Structure 1
Amino acid sequence: MKKVLLAFLFVTALILAACGSTDDSSSTDDASASESDSGENTNEEQGTEEEASSETITYEAEDGPIEIPSDPQRIVALANGPNVLALDGNVVGVDEWTYNNPLMEGKLDGIEVVSDENLEKIIELEPDLIIVGSWMKNIDKMKEIAPTIVSTWGSLNYLEQQVEVGKIINKEQEAKDWVEDFETRAKEAGEEIKAKIGEDATVSVFENDAKQLYVFGDNWARGTELLYQTMGLGMPEKVKEKALADGYYTLSLEVLPKFAGDYVVLSKNPDGDNSFFETETWNNIPAVENGQVLELNTKAITYSDPITMEYLLEEFQKFFLEE
């Protein structure tokens, strides 16, 4: 009887052990399955992100079609930097002029200064897109670092250029919306200004640097596109003759009064030689005598991007309409 009882207890123990083992195995399998599912989900998410970041589009650049990221995340903008910043593009590097532009203050946190001659710095920034000017050095070498778009100053007007930048950084509609709105507002402002100063009134845009004086045509930044192209304000005949074709004309001090319009926009370089503006030649210009000169910081107005244009539109409205 004892043997039978012992045998029964032994078999019962085996059954219980087997059940326990089965439950543990089931629990372990469930946990493993859960971990596996979690791992698969993580991998799927990573895969989706990698797939998104690796997607490309074919962009028709000036020098031919180029494969660029459909949504670039690390842009080095040696050209058109302010245009990209105006669209909240993902910029990691800009040129020195953009970096020192007072209008860009507060918009460059975490962004490095780079140049076409410092390729090592560009490599360190790990760009997935580079935008350069056609006049810059080492373009072929930059193309080996990342897809590089070459832009020629003046090949597009300032409104077309912003739309083009929008195409490049996956923000075309935002760019088009700004263009439509700004053009409407600027044309309306131009009509108001002409109604006040007269349809025949003329405006000249001058600039000084350390050694020279310049007058500008209608496509050389400094507000020229806005004044002449969009607002439709008048340009002196002498400026049309000498500066319209090339965009600018270098002046001698003696002939400067011949290029001065009824109103003058002076792009004044704070680092230049400003002694000329104390001379009789300058002070005898009618626009100067009549207090019809608007002085602007050269460093703030050497681009034609939305940030600069919005600033200039406001300054021109105050100057012409509130004086």
Structure 2
Amino acid sequence: LSIGHLLGRENEANDWVKRFEQLSQQARNTLSSFREKGETVAIYEMRGHDKVYMWSYEARGAFYLYETLGLKPPKAILEEVLLPNQHTVIPLERLGEYEADHMFFIVSDQYGWYKQMDKRMEESDVLRQLSAVKNGTFYPVKLEEFRFDEGERALLLMDRFVSQLTQPAYPTIVHM
């Protein structure tokens, strides 16, 4: 609204806010049964080969996932990341301590993670042991799709969250 005011485009800004509110409400309605189940959802980002970032409300769509859509994070993420509003970095080996029922896992092509995700899951004892990997509720996503989360991108991220969370889960068979 501030930018719309600065640019003399208040009407367009008001229309976008109304559209955002309408689409947000539709998304929350779509996920109402999901929320009633009390399943946890979280978003993570893999950096390099062994660092996992968990973002506070300001990055990678976390605000839209937890606040706008009203989804429940795991207790550890709520207490250590969201309530203090502080990004947290952990070694991959500790990912299980922050595990959610549904895990959006952001990876980049830079280190070959996205293109080799199936292979990485097979090779990683940590990833193989995650319930979300076993249950088919582990969602690798490209960093490039989540790098920015404002304006129209926010609507795309919410749509991505809703579409992934409402698709039937197909348990993953990871070869040992």
For normalisation by structure 1, the TM-score amounts to 0.46
Higher relative contact order (CA 8 A, sep 6+): 2
Q: Percent identity?
A: 22
**CA 1:196–1:237 in structure 2 vs 1: closer, same or farther (change >3 Å)?**
closer
Counterpart of 1:303? 148
CA-based RMSD: 2.1
Counterpart of 1:194? 32
Q: Does residue 21 of structure 2 align to residue 183 of structure 1? A: yes
SS in 2 for 1:198: helix
The residue type equivalent to 1:183 in the other structure is E
Q: Does residue 9 of structure 2 align to residue 171 of structure 1? A: yes
Deviations 1:134-187 (A, max 9, x none): xxxxxxxxxxxxxxxxxxxxxxxxxxxxx2232333323312221222122223
What's the CA shift for 1:273? 5.7
What's the CA shift for 1:199? 4.1
Alpha-carbon separation, structure 1, partners of 2:86 and 2:147: 13
CA contact (8 A) 2:35 2:72 kept: no
Matches within 5 A, 1:95-114: none
What's the CA shift for 1:197? 5.8
Alpha-carbon separation, structure 1, partners of 2:81 and 2:9: 34
**CA 1:281–1:171 in structure 2 vs 1: closer, same or farther (change >3 Å)?**
same
Q: Does residue 102 of structure 2 align to residue 263 of structure 1? A: yes
Alpha-carbon separation, structure 2, partners of 1:168 and 1:193: 36
SS in 2 for 1:271: helix
**CA 1:214–1:180 in structure 2 vs 1: closer, same or farther (change >3 Å)?**
same
What's the CA shift for 1:292? 0.4
The residue type equivalent to 1:184 in the other structure is Q
Alpha-carbon separation, structure 2, partners of 1:247 and 1:182: 26
Flag the structure with larger Rg.
1
Q: Which runs of 5+ in 2 are unaligned?
A: 169-176
The residue type equivalent to 1:202 in the other structure is T
Counterpart of 2:90? 251
Counterpart of 1:123? none
What's the CA shift for 1:235? 0.9
What's the CA shift for 1:267? 1.3
Which moves more between the two structures, 195-204 or 228-237? Answer: 195-204
CA contact (8 A) 2:103 2:139 kept: yes
For normalisation by structure 2, the TM-score amounts to 0.80
What's the CA shift for 1:240? 1.2
Alpha-carbon separation, structure 2, partners of 1:280 and 1:197: 30
**CA 1:180–1:291 in structure 2 vs 1: closer, same or farther (change >3 Å)?**
same
Counterpart of 1:213? 52
**CA 1:306–1:198 in structure 2 vs 1: closer, same or farther (change >3 Å)?**
same
Q: Which runs of 5+ in 1 are unaligned?
A: 1-162
Counterpart of 1:242? 80
CA contact (8 A) 1:220 1:247 kept: no
SS in 1 for 2:88: strand
What's the CA shift for 1:220? 2.8
